[in-house]
């Protein structure tokens, strides 16, 4: 259970791309707590300096400001690195529909640069963020690897393409790659602001501010919300995984299913708010229902998530309350 017992050599060096982002900064924190040497590569276009300020005095921490579209930066950042945790990407399905060219450049070319730099510098394991969006319009629940449908957005296409490149890098070049298909990750340091903010932090912040949140669609869509601690576990266990399972992609979730309207009401109850939501139109490119079969990750990576939705949301609410001085 958890990742406390996942061990690496004392002198192991980790590179976290997108390390100033929500998921990345949590990975950095967990690795530094374990006493490892951690580098961050981030251009701060999505991540925030404030997410990593707490690490500045740690002798094991190095920040490299750079763009994954710059192959020379990727090459220098991966020198002497054992494990790459590649989180750098532009997220958001709706924004990708507005900016397909940028998503191609950052998410696909940037990932290819990181794969190539890792290959050239003899990185041992390349663990990268994929997404549940690769399931597209395949309606079957739970979602199972190998049963994907038609892709619904440029963002989903970038993640599916990255999986194919990673598979090739394992097959052709012997680079151990492990894809993690994240399902609706939430938790501390996730940004609640902006037009493309994820639904949970946005709702929590709006309710704390006594604002009326908007639910896209009828609220009957369902999601497999995944707490950040589960994602840290998956990344560390992938770094420790056997080379025999390299080249695979894995569902990373809790394996639950929450309906958005129920989630909304549980948040109002937890926060002591009596605010009815506004119902807006459906978002283009969104999947209606999402629920993961995590048996492959359990079997091949030993992934055994500790945090249910209820347990995770309690911690998340507490963090946002403290952060926004409620």
Residue for token pair 């400001």: 65
| Cβ count within 10 A of residue 272 | 7
Closest by CA position to 294, among listed 256, 251, 257: 251
- Cα dist from 258 to 121, 216, 263, 320, whole Å: 43, 15, 7, 21
The catalytic position among 61, 103, 128, 155 is 155
CB 107 within 8 A of CB 90: yes
Q: Phi then psi for 281, rounded to 5 degrees?
A: -85, 160
* Widest pairwise Cα distance in the chain: 57
Give the Cα-Cα-Cα angle 271, 230, 112 (nearest 5 degrees). 120
Cβ(132)–Cβ(143) below 8 Å: yes
How crowded is the C-beta side of 130, counted as CA atoms within 13 Å? 30
- Is 155 catalytic? The answer is yes
The CA-to-CA distance between both ends of the chain, in Å, stands at: 33
Burial string for 125-161 (b: 16+ CB within 10 Å, else e) reads bbbbbbbbbbbbeeeeebbbbeebeebbbbbbbbbbb
Q: Is 19:28 a contact under the CB 8 Å cutoff?
A: yes
Q: What share of the chain is helix, strand, coil (3-state, %, to 5)?
A: 40, 15, 40
Torsion angle, alpha carbons of 162, 163, 169, 175, to 10 = 110
Nearest-angstrom CA–CA distance, 100 and 96:
5
Q: Which residues are catalytic?
A: 155
């Amino acid at each position: 259970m958890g990742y406390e017992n996942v061990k690496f050599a004392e002198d192991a060096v980790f590179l976290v791309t997108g390390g100033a982002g929500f998921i990345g900064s949590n990975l950095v924190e967990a690795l530094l707590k374990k006493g490892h040497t951690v580098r961050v590569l981030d251009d701060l276009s999505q991540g925030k300096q404030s997410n990593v300020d707490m690490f500045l005095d740690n002798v094991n921490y190095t920040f490299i400001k750079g763009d994954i579209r710059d192959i020379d930066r990727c090459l220098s950042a991966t020198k002497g690195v054992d494990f790459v945790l590649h989180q750098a990407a532009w997220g958001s399905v709706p924004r990708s529909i507005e900016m397909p060219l940028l998503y191609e450049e950052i998410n696909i070319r940037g990932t290819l640069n990181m794969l190539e730099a890792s290959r050239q510098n003899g990185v041992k394991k390349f663990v990268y963020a994929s997404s549940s969006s690769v399931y597209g319009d395949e309606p079957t629940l739970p979602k199972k690897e190998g049963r994907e449908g038609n892709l619904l957005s440029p963002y989903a296409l970038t993640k599916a393409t990255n999986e194919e490149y990673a598979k090739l890098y394992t097959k052709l070049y012997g680079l151990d790659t492990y894809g993690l298909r994240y399902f609706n990750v939430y938790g501390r340091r996730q940004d609640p602001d902006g037009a493309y903010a994820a639904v949970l932090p946005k709702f929590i912040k709006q309710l704390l501010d006594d604002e009326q949140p908007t639910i896209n669609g009828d609220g009957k869509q369902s999601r497999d919300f995944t707490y950040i601690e589960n994602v840290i576990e998956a990344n560390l266990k992938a770094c420790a995984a056997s080379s025999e399972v390299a080249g695979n992609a894995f569902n990373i979730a809790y394996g639950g299913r929450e309906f958005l309207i129920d989630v909304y009401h549980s948040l109002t109850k937890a926060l002591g708010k009596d605010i009815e939501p506004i119902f807006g139109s459906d978002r283009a490119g969104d999947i209606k229902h999402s629920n993961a079969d995590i048996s492959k990750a359990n079997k091949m990576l030993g992934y055994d998530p500790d945090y249910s939705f209820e347990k995770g949301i309690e911690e998340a609410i507490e963090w946002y309350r403290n952060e926004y001085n409620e």
